[in-house]
Amino acid sequence: MTLTACGIRPTSILTGAEAPTVSSHTLTIYLVTPQRDGLVRRTRDYTGTVDITTAMNVLLAGLTDEEKKLGLVTELPTTNDKAVAVLNVIVMPEGIEPPTSKWAVFQVHCTALASRAKVAGVESLPDENCP
């Protein structure tokens, strides 16, 4: 029996740095139709750490260029200030009043429901209001 080898000598195991990781998620937010007669479910890719406030902060950051071109609107004020979580309740950023219009309430409720959270100052609504 004959054995051959390719001529490469064995080496010890070479270790390298940790492999890079990226955490990518799809978030669901709700915007108002151009006719202001209903909600539209929108998904956005989000890279980074996600907690129960992330979807709400994405909603409060405003519309993307694509959403503006589609004529979608939001009845919530746009802000870069962040909502915070206290246990399983989202507290809106300081200076942002609880929503009062029907569609603003639905936007917040449905976005929170999609992220399995509750929002302080927003009453629970039946799930059939969320498309």
* pLDDT tens profile 100-118: 899 999 999 899 888 877 7
Does the pLDDT at position 67 exceed 80? yes
pLDDT band at 46 (very low <50, low <70, confident <90, very high): confident
Mean predicted lDDT score pLDDT of the chain: 82
Confidence (pTM) = 0.75
d(CA 75, CA 98): 12
